[in-house]
Amino acid sequence: MDTVIHDRYVSRTERQAGMVVREEPVVYNEGTYADALSAEQLSAYQDKGFLVLEELFSPQEVKKLLAEVKALGERDDLQNRPELVTEPDSQELRSLFSVHQFSTMFERLMQDPRLVNVARQILGSEVYVHQSRVNYKPGFDGDEFYWHSDFETWHVEDGMPEMRALSCSVLLTDNDACNGPLMLIPGSHRTFLVCPGETPENHHERSLKKQEFGVPDPLSLTLLVEEYGGIEALEAKAGSVVLFDSNAMHGSAGNISPWPRVNAYFVYNSVENKLETPKYGLEPRPEYLAHRKNTQTIQPKPFQDN
Ligand code: 6CS
Ligand code: FE
């Protein structure tokens, strides 16, 4: 008899909704693999699924990175590339994916021990980068990112086996109540929400502008918020870093303030968790969204040599 491959995290099939209890650890090997976060910080991350590291990068580092983001957005050779995603209803920049492959400065940031060693400690192994991006969320025109679990997308569309990845969001501008800060549901990382609807072909061509599949139904979201006690809007100064688990339920509202909300994201995946075949016969997404070839272990190297 053929062995039935059991997938714990089935989503986007005929089931309209469902909640699956996470089986994987949140912090692997009790955080002993590397020494970056304190026991209190690890415990907070374990409990909530996210953690803010206040002003980890200096104003000088942020200034350099923000200038680089601006320059990248204006580069002629990037204008028609698929990695550069505009807002759904305007030509305003929404995201630049694979930013570490277009910019040596962001490649160095991605390798910085202040980020890599945190990922190695939480994931309990060496790590590689699954995806990087800059979200521009411009003033007046930055659209929302509706509620979702990154892992739900990465499991279904990229074939990521387990919840053994995390995102590091490096805030390049202040994130406050007015410019669409990241919102997370504390504790939501411990429950996998099954999403309705069958994934369309080439879904990413639409989902990166406005995600309509892989988003949970309102009742499931309400239950999650009530089960775990609310929503946290992460307000922090530029230079801060928000770490969040691959399965943490998150989103952000649109930005109608005059102030852009510019954040860089590095998704670190455990080298023990490399991508397999996408689910349900889906074609693998492009390399710039989900690294399958460039999966070399990151050697931590300080961002600033001086
Ligand atoms: O599809 C993805 O991989 C991207 N989409 C969202 C909404 N968050 C994670 C990632 O940037
Ligand atoms: Fe996301």
Pocket of ligand 1 (CB under 6 A): 131, 133, 145, 148, 150, 153, 207, 211, 289
Can you tell me whether residue 144 is helix, strand or coil? Answer: coil
Which of 5-9, 101-105, 276-280 bottoms out in mean pLDDT, i.e. has the lowest? 5-9
Sequence spans of domains, the chain: 18-281
Q: Give the ligand at the shortest distance from the Cα of 154.
A: 1
| Backbone phi, psi, residue 217, to 5° | -75, 155
Q: Are 214 and 152 in contact (CB under 8 A)?
A: yes
Q: Is the pLDDT of residue 107 over 80?
A: yes
pLDDT digits (tens, 9 = 90+) for 184-218: 999 999 999 999 999 999 999 999 999 999 999 99
Contact 83, 98 (CB under 8 A): yes
Percent of the chain predicted with pLDDT > 70: 98
Q: What angle do CA 16, 21, 25 make, to 5 degrees?
A: 140
Rounded Cα distance, 79 and 292, in Å: 25
pLDDT of residue 177: 97
pLDDT of residue 305 exceeding 80, the answer is: no
3-state secondary structure of 34: coil
In this prediction, residues 73-102 reach a mean pLDDT of: 95
Euclidean distance between CA atoms 284 and 158, whole angstroms: 6
Q: What is the mean pLDDT of the chain?
A: 96
Centre of ligand 1 from the C-alpha of residue 208, in Å:
7
Question: Quick one: pLDDT at residue 1?
Answer: 58
- 2: pLDDT strictly greater than 90: no
Residue with tokens 């912090």, as numbered in its chain: 27
Which amino acid does the sequence have at 33? Y
Looking at residues 152-172, what average pLDDT do you find?
A: 98
pLDDT over 80 at 139, yes or no: yes
pLDDT level of residue 229 (50, 70, 90 thresholds): confident
pLDDT at residue 29 tops 80: yes
Q: Among 99, 131, 291, say which to mutate for ligand 1: greatest number of ligand atoms within 8 Å of CB.
A: 131
Return d(Cα 25, Cα 114) in angstroms, integer: 22
Q: Give the CA angle between residues 187, 191, 192 to the nearest 5°.
A: 135
Percent of the chain scored above 90 by pLDDT? Answer: 95
pLDDT score for 306:
45
pLDDT at 17 over 80: yes
- Report the separation in Å between the CA atom of 251 and the middle of ligand 2, taken as the mean of its atom positions: 7
Mutation test residue for ligand 1: of 150, 213, 246, the one with most atoms within 8 Å of CB: 150
Residue 44, pLDDT score: 98
| Residue closest to 245 by CA, chosen among 183, 164, 171, 191 | 164
Q: How far is the CA of 97 from the centre of ligand 1 (A)?
A: 10
Q: For 234-275, how does the pLDDT look when each residue is reduced to its tens digit (9 = 90+)?
A: 999 999 999 999 999 999 999 999 999 999 999 999 999 999
| C-alpha to C-alpha distance for 183 and 252, rounded to whole angstroms | 6
Quote the longest CA-to-CA distance of the chain.
62
Provide the pLDDT for residue 228: 85
Cβ distance 264 to 109 under 8 Å? Answer: yes
Which amino acid residue places its CA nearest to atom 9 of ligand 1? 150
Query: Is the dihedral angle over the CA atoms 264, 144, 240, 116 positive or is it negative?
Result: negative
At 5, is the pLDDT very low, low, confident or very high (cuts 50, 70, 90)?
low
18-281 topology per CATH: Jelly Rolls (2.60.120)
Are 213 and 197 in contact by the 8 Å Cβ rule? The answer is: yes
